[in-house]
Amino acid sequence: MLFPRPPRADRVRRDPSGGEGVKSLNLRRWDEAMADDRLDDERARVAGTDGKRSAGGLWWNRFARRAVSTAAVMVLAAGCAPRSYVEGVSWTLRRSGAASASLRGVRGYPCLRLDSFLLDRLNHLRHGAKTHDPEKQAEWLPQELPYALTRYSAERGDSVLSPPDDPHLRREAFRESLRQTLAAANRLATAAYDNEFDRLTPNELRGLWRRYFPHEAEPPHLREVLRARFRRVCSRQYDRLMQQVERASSVDALARIAREIVDAVEKSPKDHHGRGPILALVARSIDVPDGPLDHGGPLVDLYVPDEVLTCAAHVERATEGGREDELLLAYAPVIVQERLPSSDYPPDTDRIGTVRLEGRVDHSKVRIDTAVPSVYAYWRYAWIHGRRHLQLTYTYWFPRHPKLKRFDPEAGRIEGAVLRITLDEADRPALFETLLACGCYHRCYPSQALEEAACRAFGGPEPGKRFCVERHRPEKLVDWIVPETVAVPREEQARPLLFSRAGYHGPAGISFRLEELESRTIREQSRYTIRCYEELEHLPVEGGYGSMFDSRGLVRGANRLEGSLLGGTGMLRAGHPRARETQLLHWDQYDFDDPHVLERSLRLPPPADGGALVRGAGSRP
């Protein structure tokens, strides 16, 4: 059977290979461990002023803070760790390269980690008390409104629910939204730190113990003891933070908590953008619309998805889903990989595989095992006109990008390709995006029904554009490229065909038309395993676990000459495959993980016009 029936929601399998079983993480909440350090900082800030805040004292404080920051950098560069255990763990993780680049840390809040969706939510909450835009309010209010109505009415003893414009209800909805956002951030931190502790080498663990617990004998299970102590600290910190949320008496007080957290968010590798006239020249000469795509030659390999989602037993997954996991399985693509009758590169170059690490935990190498085809999948949410839409993302890996011409700066080890599907409110595909894992060659394919809705709403395409959904962004170097639309069948959960070119590995179009396979010769048909994306950051290796990515989110050992040639533009390793939450599109002009990137980059009609991925917009009869 070529396309298996849609799997059930509970078909999630734990793979015991390489692990000891699922860990029982019972991380609770937030801590007082930083209190002494903060008190010392406050004393240093007012030192020499006798408690008086004179103009000279303020100038001296600013100078002193800068001097202290400079000294801190020099101390860290010299190899001296911070004196707080919590800060020391974070510092050790960064210094060793074990820290994950796909999540942002929060200075002073080790119990929190943020992805793009949660950071965007906190940004809305910090301004929530001042905004009156219904769409902006909708981005934090709808989820929490039923809960807040019930809770507030119960507290007041009302038999009738309060109206949505009730100021007390607004405060409770705001509180519940902040509560849920911080809880999600704490779950991300819990899973991230647990996986990162597993990536520390024995020497790094012993260094932590000797630095912060010098008067205690080293325990036999050092990793677990250090992990447990870190959990307790984070648990107390999170508890204190949630107590602040519960005690807040107004929306303004809740917004201040969100503002304090956002102001302490650490930088991400994708904050490093390329710019300048050279980059503009390259972008406008290369990233141009290419018309309808060539779906490849007549000889292909077919990769058909498995019926279950497989997660390694040793991997902690922060976002367990029910409906989301079911849809992730249901829409997993059938990959139609073009094969050449003969080529100058190794035959396994055009085969997808499972990511492995070879060597030792302190010196490992990434290898793609093409004998075991795998696709790594995850789901997220995006905002479109104030409505949440589920996005399903699938990433698959090739052993290399071969040298296809005499001078080929794109050639190198390890190549990744990505498909993202955005669903409408009826959970049907409405938008498809394809790209390479470096963020290169991004293309967008709207459903025909969504394109028709955009034409009804806007009257036609913009000048110089071919499709109604295309938008001109004058402040950007290039606009999004829409090669063609996709006819999505009305049948529930039909699997898309994803075409991939030989050698280049760039996705070459989406289709649901099975006739496209009739004119092709299927050389080999394989079934691939749908694996949790989190596995890529927690791969078994001799001596422990390691990540496919370094501390900047770049695939280890996958350098490209292209990155050196464009280094002067400010781009971070152009052409280098990278992890989720670090991918930038169209020459660093767009953030792939921005929850608003679709509505900002395309003309998507609002719900009132029957568009914006409303129910039924993703499919057609």
DSSP 3-state of 376: strand
- pTM of the predicted model as reported, rounded to 2 decimal places: 0.84
Percent of residues, the chain, with pLDDT higher than 90: 55
Following CA atoms 342, 345, 346, 351 in sequence, which dihedral angle do they give, to the nearest 10 degrees?
-80
Residue 191, amino acid: A
Q: Rounded CA gap, 259 and 189, in Å? A: 19
Residue in the block written with tokens 């080929």: 408
Tell me the sheet residues that pair with 522. Answer: 300
Instruction: Determine how many CB atoms are found less than 10 A away from the CB of residue 388.
Output: 15
> Which of 330, 309, 328, 304 has its CA nearest to residue 5?
330
Q: Rounded CA gap, 401 and 398, in Å? A: 8
Question: Taking CA 497 as the corner, what is the angle to CA 494 and CA 502, rounded to the nearest 5 degrees?
Answer: 165
Q: Rounded CA gap, 448 and 442, in Å? A: 19
Contacts of 512 (CB under 8 A, 6+ apart): 486, 487, 488, 489, 494, 495, 496, 497
Q: Rounded CA gap, 472 and 204, in Å? A: 51
pLDDT (0 to 100) of residue 5: 47
Query: For the chain, which ranges sit under pLDDT 70?
Result: 1-12, 14-81, 128-165, 290-292, 320, 492, 608-621
Q: Rounded CA gap, 117 and 139, in Å? A: 11
φ and ψ of 262, to 5 deg: -60, -40
Contact in structure between 585 and 435 (CB atoms under 8 Å): yes
DSSP E strand stretches across 6-124:
12-15, 104-105, 113-114
Residue 449, amino acid: A
pLDDT (0 to 100) of residue 21: 37
Q: Rounded CA gap, 124 and 439, in Å? A: 27
Following CA atoms 246, 248, 249, 255 in sequence, which dihedral angle do they give, to the nearest 10 degrees?
-130
* Residue 36: both structure tokens together: 């002494």
DSSP E strand stretches across 266-423:
299-312, 334-338, 354-360, 363-369, 374-384, 387-401, 412-423
CA 230 from centre of chain: 25
DSSP E strand stretches across 519-589:
521-532, 539-541, 544-546, 584-585
b vs e for 540-571, b when ≥16 Cβ sit within 10 Å of the residue's Cβ? bbeebbbbbbbbbbbbbebbbebbeebeebeb
DSSP 3-state of 539: strand
Q: Rounded CA gap, 454 and 603, in Å? A: 7
Indicate the helix (H) or strand (E) that contains 323: helix 323-330
> Which of 195, 103, 91 has its CA nearest to residue 579?
103
Q: What is the DSSP letter of 91?
A: H
Contact in structure between 380 and 391 (CB atoms under 8 Å): yes
Residue 532, amino acid: C
pLDDT (0 to 100) of residue 76: 40
Q: Whats the size of the chain, residue-wise?
A: 621
φ and ψ of 48, to 5 deg: 85, 0
Angstrom CA distances, 459 to 4, 260, 452, 600, 605, stand at: 40, 45, 10, 19, 11
Q: Rounded CA gap, 74 and 78, in Å? A: 6
